[in-house]
DNA sequence: TCTGATTTAGAACGCCTATTCTGAATGTGC
DNA sequence: GCACATTCAGAATAGGCGTTCTAAATCAGA
């Protein structure tokens, strides 16, 4: 069951245009990105663009699928064979995502921009939920590994923890879209990960010692 | 320093129109809500509408300010004098917000719809961040109370915990916008609150006993 | 180089929406 | 009841956008 979007993505010459369009949609949103913008950014002829994709919506669907595949690969490769342990792998992947967000002053393309399109097209929001479920499931497997190693907070199951991580990431995205800084987002994410990790007095003390009065460490941004 | 929007809100005859417009913007977003929609929903004359507010953007700013005031009151009254303790107050307020979201299939008006407008108008996104900071600060005070009672997980400070709650709520909103169900959202929120609460073996055992294999409780929605 | 197909750039079209305009309807003070 | 201001409904305007059309330019093959 390969979708129209997936067929488009198998065409090598379309990879660059899709990536350029992705960048636009991600930064500006769906409505605010005009075909004119896409024509300029891709360098592709308007006529050729319509020939290749069909229209703006179909182009966005291709972009979405491409983003999804990319993101899925990122998560699966990092989480399936984590050298530094599953928690470290989650941190690594998530911090990468946060960087992507703050670089663009945007949230998650899949969730935020797609939610815009989901108003027209129910299939899009269903696709988004299935994507979230896949990522959540990958997180869950990582947390299950962590549980085996005794690295997971026993107050929570891998399944719940994974859902919490997803929500946290989406929340961080919403903050990014409204202009929150990288350091603030990292602090939020790290709090979440800390609570998910096995609680120990030593660990807590360690954290409190490093962050007296828990003021945020000021750091030069970008 | 009273803004134009605040002056508008002090006019009693404009309260109903603002609320009707709020409902529209919340459910449909800014771009997708036309002035025609507003005219129909408010029953207000188009000419009168422009006379009263100035234009679509100004109308939205008034809606935003109204939402902000409402939400702030909700949080401040619930959290400033919590009968069942601060954690319970946070739960109550948050579950109310989740209901608002799922009723509309939307997230947070302030963050999600305003982020759309924030692309045109930098002042809007700054307003959003200041709103988030006010709510976060209210949460922080509640968590500080909880800390005094020994109800806060010692691994986290009230400040960090408050930021985490905000991000969690925004994430839950993003899920709601994409069609996630009420029960799923409540589960995510409750996981977050559980981790924020003081950890005790008894408490964890209690949770695990109630939720064997931590399957989500199926419940009729809406 | 010539011919026929393909690709290009950009004009043209049709639709939608925010905003303004206009003449009719309604209200107000006397 | 009358003069006048206000309010109304809906038409008109202006601009933007996705999409399609067209005539010129380019390319491919012999």
Residue B219 vs residue A135, higher pLDDT: A135
Q: Average pLDDT, whole number, for chain B?
A: 87
Residues 151-210 of B with CB under 8 A from A: 153-157, 159-161, 163-164, 166-175, 177-180, 184, 187-188, 191-192, 194-196, 199, 203-204, 207
Residue B187: closest CA among chain A residues belongs to which residue? A160
pLDDT greater than 90 at residue A210: no
CATH homologous superfamily of B64-214 equals Tetracycline Repressor, domain 2 (1.10.357.10)
Q: Is the CB of A39 under 7 A from strand D?
A: no
pLDDT level of residue B220 (50, 70, 90 thresholds) = very low
pLDDT of residue B8: 67
Residue A154: closest CA among chain B residues belongs to which residue? B204
Residues 45-74 of B with CB under 8 A from A: none
* The pair of three-digit structure tokens given for residue A178, joined into one six-digit string: 């409204």
pLDDT of residue A110: 86
For residue B1, what are the contacts with CB-CB under 8 A and spacing of at least 6? none
Chain A residues with CB under 8 Å of B176 CB are none
Looking across all nucleic acid strands, the nucleotide with the smallest C1' to CA distance from residue B39 is: D9
* The pair of three-digit structure tokens given for residue A10, joined into one six-digit string: 């198998």
pLDDT of residue A3: 72
Cross-chain residue pair A194–B156, CB shorter than 8 Å:
yes
* The pair of three-digit structure tokens given for residue B122, joined into one six-digit string: 């930098």
pLDDT level of residue B3 (50, 70, 90 thresholds) = confident
Question: Which region among A19-23, B58-62, B172-176, B196-200 has the lowest average model confidence (pLDDT)?
Answer: B196-200
pLDDT level of residue B219 (50, 70, 90 thresholds) = very low
Name the residue with tokens 């109903």.
B16
pLDDT greater than 80 at residue B10: no
pLDDT tens digits along B121-130:
888 999 999 9
Cross-chain residue pair B159–A125, CB shorter than 8 Å:
no
What's the rounded Cα separation, in Å, for the pair A179 and B125?
7
pLDDT tens digits along A31-65:
999 999 999 999 999 999 999 999 999 999 999 99
Q: Is the CB of A71 under 7 A from strand D?
A: no
pLDDT tens digits along A79-137:
888 888 999 999 999 999 999 999 998 999 988 999 999 988 888 999 999 999 999 99
| Domain boundaries of chain B, sorted by first residue | 64-214
SS3 A46: helix
Residue B191 is nearest to which of A156, A207, A214, comparing CB atoms?
A156
The residues with which A197 forms a beta bridge, in sequence order, are A152
Q: How far is B221 from chain A (nearest CA, A)?
A: 17
Residue A195 is nearest to which of B169, B174, B195, comparing CB atoms?
B195
CATH homologous superfamily of A4-210 equals Tetracycline Repressor, domain 2 (1.10.357.10)
Interface contact A128, partner B, CB < 8 A: yes
pLDDT level of residue B204 (50, 70, 90 thresholds) = very low
pLDDT level of residue A14 (50, 70, 90 thresholds) = confident
Interface contact A211, partner B, CB < 8 A: yes
Other C-beta atoms within 10 Å of B33: how many? 22
pLDDT level of residue B2 (50, 70, 90 thresholds) = low
End-to-end CA distance of chain A: 42
- Helix H, strand E, coil C: the string for chain B is CCCHHHHHHCCHHHHHHHHHHHHHHHHHCCCCCCHHHHHHHHCCCHHHHHHHHCCHHHHHHHHHHHHHHHHHHHHHHHHHCCCCCHHHHHHHHHHHHHHHHHHHCCCCHHHHHHHHHHCCCHHHHHHHHHHHHHHHHHHHHHHHHHHHCCCECCCCCHHHHHHHHHHHHHHHHHHHHCCCCHHHHHHHHHHHHHHHECCCHHHHHHHHHHCHHHCCCCCCCC
- The residue-averaged pLDDT of B151-170 equals 97
Name the residue with tokens 């968590």.
B143
pLDDT greater than 90 at residue A222: no
pLDDT of residue B21: 96
Chain B residues with CB under 8 Å of A31 CB are 31
Question: Which region among A29-43, A205-219, B147-161 has the lowest average model confidence (pLDDT)?
Answer: A205-219
What's the rounded Cα separation, in Å, for the pair B100 and B23?
11
Q: Percentage of chain B with pLDDT > 90?
A: 75
pLDDT tens digits along A140-157:
999 999 999 999 999 999
Cross-chain residue pair A191–B160, CB shorter than 8 Å:
yes
pLDDT of residue B11: 76
Interatomic separation, CA of residue A48 and C1' of nucleotide C1, rounded (Å): 29
What's the rounded Cα separation, in Å, for the pair B163 and B135?
9
Q: Is the CB of B22 under 7 A from strand C?
A: no
């Amino acid at each position: 069951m390969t979708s129209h979007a997936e067929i488009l993505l198998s065409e090598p010459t379309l990879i660059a245009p899709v990536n350029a369009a992705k960048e636009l949609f991600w930064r500006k949103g769906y409505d605010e990105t005009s075909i004119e913008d896409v024509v300029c950014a891709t360098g592709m002829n308007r006529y050729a663009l319509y020939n290749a994709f069909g229209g703006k919506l179909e182009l966005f669907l291709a972009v979405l699928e491409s983003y999804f595949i990319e993101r899925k690969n990122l998560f699966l490769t990092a989480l399936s064979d984590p050298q530094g342990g599953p928690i470290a792998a989650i941190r690594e992947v998530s911090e990468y995502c946060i960087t992507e967000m703050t670089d663009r002053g945007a949230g998650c393309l899949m969730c935020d921009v797609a939610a815009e399109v989901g108003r027209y097209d129910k299939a899009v929001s269903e696709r988004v939920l299935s994507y979230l479920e896949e990522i959540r499931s990958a997180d869950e497997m990582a947390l299950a590994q962590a549980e085996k190693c005794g690295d997971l907070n026993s107050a929570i199951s891998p399944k719940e923890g994974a859902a919490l991580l997803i929500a946290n990431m989406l929340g961080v995205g919403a903050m990014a879209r409204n202009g929150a800084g990288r350091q603030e987002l990292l602090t939020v994410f790290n709090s979440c990960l800390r609570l998910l990790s096995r609680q120990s007095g030593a660990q807590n003390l360690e954290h409190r010692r490093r962050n007296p009065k828990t003021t945020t460490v000021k750091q030069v941004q970008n």
